[in-house]
Structure 1
Amino acid sequence: MKAVTAKEVQERLEKGENLHLIDVREVDEVEAGHIPGILHIPLGLLEFRMNELSKETPYIMVCRSGGRSGRATEFLQSQGFDVTNMSGGMLAWEGEVE
């Protein structure tokens, strides 16, 4: 499984890179604070909403600590998507939040 650190994601966003981030946490967790511009798809709905995603687009999966996003990464990879897990999740995130 491909992985990237929260710091690497933050640096890439600060450089203006257009990243496609998917937050797989629950609604209340996302409302408490999330990376601006993130797409929210709770892990339990990912299987049903993956038709909204493009296999041509690389995605970075985000959750609280990296566990759920790791499961989401493995699932989407098995379906042919280009996905990377943000290790450490939002606990490791030091960038801007909404």
Structure 2
Amino acid sequence: MYILLVVIVAVIAYTLFNYFYQKKVVKTLTQEEFIEGYRKAQLIDVREPNEFDAGHILGARNIPLTQMKMRLKEIRPDKPVYLYCQNNTRSGRAAQMLYRKGYKQIYQLKGGFKKWTGKIKTK
């Protein structure tokens, strides 16, 4: 019984830590705020290639979260980074990774691609 309680408390603590850490490292923008700034920034879709090919924000580059560590050199630390995924889970993890590598201007789209109503491109 005590072991189960300890596990539950640990999971809750980890979740809370991640939530507040993400709030610190990435600024979540509404679609309007995102549109205002993403043309002057690096727009990165962190979803997998098949998701990207099915539809993505016009002008986005695909650097999947699973490849982020290997492809960090493609992302300039001196320019703002605008991230999005399907619903903010992966973009939040990508933001944490970038923050640990020294990136400071990190933004993500509120609600992710599934809430996007702007222009998209499909392959």
Report how many aligned residue pairs link the two structures: 95
- Which residue is 1:86 aligned to? 109
- Structure 1 or 2, whichever has the larger Rg, is 2
**Distance in 1 between the 2:47 and 2:69 partners?**
14
Q: Could you list the structure 1 runs, at least 4 aligned residues long, displaced by more than 3 angstroms after superposition.
A: none
Gaps of 5+ in 2: 1-25
Is 1:70 aligned with 2:95?
A: no
- State the superposition RMSD in angstroms: 1.6
Q: Deviations over 1:4-33 (max 9, x none)?
A: 1223213x16xx942321000011111111
State the match for 1:9 in structure 2: 34
Flag the structure with higher helix content. Answer: 2
Task: State TM-score, norm by structure 1.
Answer: 0.88
Indicate the SS of the match to 2:107.
strand
- The structure 2 residue matched to 1:21, chosen from 35, 43, 50, is 43
Q: SS in structure 2 opposite 1:47?
A: coil
Give ranges in structure 1 of 5+ residues lacking alignment. none
Residue pair 2:44, 2:82 contacting (<8 A) in 1 also: yes
TM-score normalised by the chain length of structure 2: 0.71
What percentage of residue pairs aligned between the two structures are identical? 35
